[in-house]
Amino acid sequence: MAESAKWYVIHTYSGYEKNVKENITKVVENRKLQHLIQEVKVPIEKVTEISNGKSKDVERKVYPCYVLIKMVYTDETWYIVRNTRGVTGFVGPASEPTPLSEKEVEALGVELNSVEVDYKVGDVVKINGTSMDGLTGIVQSIDYDGKTVDVLVSMFGRETPTTLALNQVVSLDS
C-alpha cells in the first residue's frame, strides 16, 4: 500500500465523468476521508468557437471517459472508487491502479485554452465590426495565440494587409 497520495486514472462510462467526480467527492466529505482522497479532476479544455463573427466559449473533456484522482492507495480508497456508479475500473494492468508520474500529471491535468474558427488560410472572408465593414479579403495567416487574423484587402486598387481580431472576420462560405 502506498503511504503518500499519488495521481491515478479512473475509467468511466461515456458521459459519466462529472457524475463520478461528484459522487466520489460526496463520499469523501461524508466519510471525512480528505486525507486519503485529496483531489478528483475531469481534465477539460476551454475552446472559443468563432462562427459567423460570433464567439462562443465551450468546455470540452480532454480525455472523454477518464477521471484523474489524487489519493492514498488503500483497500478503503480502492473500494470507494471501484464501487462508484459509472466507474469501470482503474487504468493499469489487470485494472490494478498504476500511479502517474508528476510529468504525466502535468501533461494531463492542465486546463487548456484554444480557439476554433470557421475559415482557414486562403479563404475569402468578409470584414465585420470595423471601419472596413463589408470589404472582402483573403486570409493570409491566423494567429490563434494572439487571437488575430491577417487579411489581404483590396482597397482603392491596392492590396492592403490588415490585422484583425478573429471575430471581426466572417467566412463567405457560411
Across residues 98-108, what is the average pLDDT? 77
Cα atoms in the 13 Å half-sphere on the side-chain side of 10:
34
The answer to whether position 1 is within a domain reads no
The helix, strand and coil proportions of the chain, stated in percent and rounded to the nearest 5, come to 20, 45, 35
Cell, residue 109: 491535468
Q: How far is CA 49 from CA 53, 61, 147, in A?
A: 10, 15, 12
3 — pLDDT class (breaks 50, 70, 90): low
Beta pairing partners, 48: 57, 115
Same domain, 104 and 160: no
The answer to whether residues 93 and 128 belong to one domain is no
Digit-coded pLDDT (tens) for 32-56: 998 999 889 888 888 888 887 788 8
How many domains is the chain built from?
A: 2
| DSSP code at position 64 | T
151: three-class secondary structure by DSSP = strand
CB atoms within 10 A of CB 92: 13
Domain boundary among 115, 133, 158: 115
Of 94, 115, 136, which residue constitutes the final position of a domain? 115
Angle between helices 17-31 and 75-82 (to 10 degrees): 140
Per-residue pLDDT tens for 61-80?
888 999 999 899 999 999 99
Among the candidates 70, 94, 115, a domain finishes at: 115
Domain that holds residue 46: 6-115
The average confidence (pLDDT) of the chain is 85
Whether the pLDDT of residue 165 is over 60: the answer is yes
Strands 148-155 and 136-143: antiparallel
